[in-house]
Structure 1
């Protein structure tokens, strides 16, 4: 089990490998969390948009691991672009999950989902308003850390101009064939940890023979190579699965990719479409 941690700007430690829970039904989420905790996972990532906060919270409360040893994350829905809506949603999440605090909460997207990449409006004032609600909850002790997701450099700069607490993470679509190096470097240079969602590229990377060949070279499965790649970029990696066997395999990433291979993977050809199975365009959707 990979158990390394990163230290956020405020000193809070975050497990570098976590379990993503998108597409896990609320009815099955508790069992998935408990299975992952039994294997050694200590970081669980959900969102208001996933519809499974209740189940994830149940799993956290009943997995047998002390609460203080777990790192639990949720996301303010992308549509909440007022202080009032974001504030109410934070309290609703805590109530729904049955938890006194979250280890982190983040803004899910700078734009509402139906506007993602469909309009010029980056919702600068709306994001600042939602961020103010997160700052307040953070200062009240409801949240141990706060951050954002899917924010581009311009979005981050707009937020940094007026915030009293800097974002501690930016959770982005990051995987072999989609490595926004400029954004990653901007975040890391500004003390913002990068989190990689969909590190296995919604499964599309499994169909790339060059990646299969490299995985065989290291004696690992393609998902393990993909996860290890994001870890070596210095990111938190959040593979999603409800399958305990896959959870175990995904956590067996104590190997090293060579510097040369890392450079080749950074520049691997871009996947243009994730196919109908993913349900989302290249931007990544509600992850």
Structure 2
């Protein structure tokens, strides 16, 4: 069985399906993105998460061609940057991203941050709704939205996002926000799923890894998957790229899941969405 055929799909609220495990390209230099993403696609990944702010959308598009894959074989997510908030700007921004990616549509388009000080994420969300209707993106969602931001866009447009991509790892489990997602049938996506490596030396995770014969990173990815999160670990190392997708031949027990849940410290490593503008 190929790795790509083992990755489960999650059904979004709009009926579209998203591969639950993907490849993140945050902080991969633009000049290296095509090569590294090609290697990830050849290793079996079929979901790539990029963003305008990463400056490497073009490399993602090049990688699909280099891996000899058809457009429909790869799930592509990209994101609207803070400088493109607003109705007209948002509509232009996606078209620019499509040009960079060399595709006619993306599978998922996200508002990268709510930037509440600008107070125009509702107008931006209205543009995304239209972009979906126009077929330029199959699904629409948000990233780094807090409960109040979610409730406002839903109340003012009647349309809930398909996903909310948030910082989420064992030290920052976001239990309350994930519960809010479940109430609105919003899928949770986890960025920085390994806390940039900070959780990999945790004694509880190391102990579980030894018990199941896997690496700490594989254990944490499995924890995300069993919680229902969509997750995309990032690596530029070939062995780690392959290791991160080799997580479908074991299952964590309820006790092991609970032991990792208990590590939550409420500690962010990234910006606070309420103040990041």
| Fold match by TM threshold 0.5 | yes
Describe how 1:160-171 pairs up with structure 2 within 5 A. 160-171=154-165
Distance 1:122 1:235, change over 3 A: farther
Shift, 1:238, TM fit: 1.0
What TM-score comes out, normalization by structure 1 length? 0.89
Is the CA contact 1:15–1:43 (under 8 Å) kept in the aligned structure 2?
A: yes
Distance 1:176 1:76, change over 3 A: same
Matched, 1:98 2:102: yes
Structure 2 residues not aligned, in runs of 5+: none
Is the CA contact 2:26–2:54 (under 8 Å) kept in the aligned structure 1?
A: yes
Matched, 1:197 2:201: no
Structure 1 residues not aligned, in runs of 5+: 112-120, 275-279
Matched, 1:259 2:254: yes
Deviation by residue 1:147-206 (Cα, 9 ceiling, x = unmatched): 000111111000101225321000011111111111112112211111011111111112
Give, in whole Å, the separation in 2 of the partners of 1:257 and 1:25.
Answer: 34
Secondary structure of the structure 1 residue equivalent to 2:77: strand
Give, in whole Å, the separation in 1 of the partners of 2:75 and 2:134.
Answer: 18
What TM-score comes out, normalization by structure 2 length? 0.92
Describe how 1:78-97 pairs up with structure 2 within 5 A. 78-97=82-101
Secondary structure of the structure 1 residue equivalent to 2:138: coil
- Residue 58 of structure 1 is aligned with which of 52, 58, 62? 62
Q: CA RMSD in A?
A: 1.9
Give, in whole Å, the separation in 1 of the partners of 2:120 and 2:36.
Answer: 34
Is the CA contact 1:169–1:193 (under 8 Å) kept in the aligned structure 2?
A: yes
Matched, 1:270 2:265: yes
Runs (4+) of structure 1 exceeding 3 A deviation are: 271-274, 280-283
What residue in structure 2 maps to residue 149 of structure 1?
143
Aligned residues: 270
Shift, 1:269, TM fit: 4.4
Shift, 1:64, TM fit: 1.1
Describe how 1:1-287 pairs up with structure 2 within 5 A. 1=3, 2-111=6-115, 121=116, 123=118, 125-254=119-248, 255-270=250-265, 272=267, 274=269, 280=270
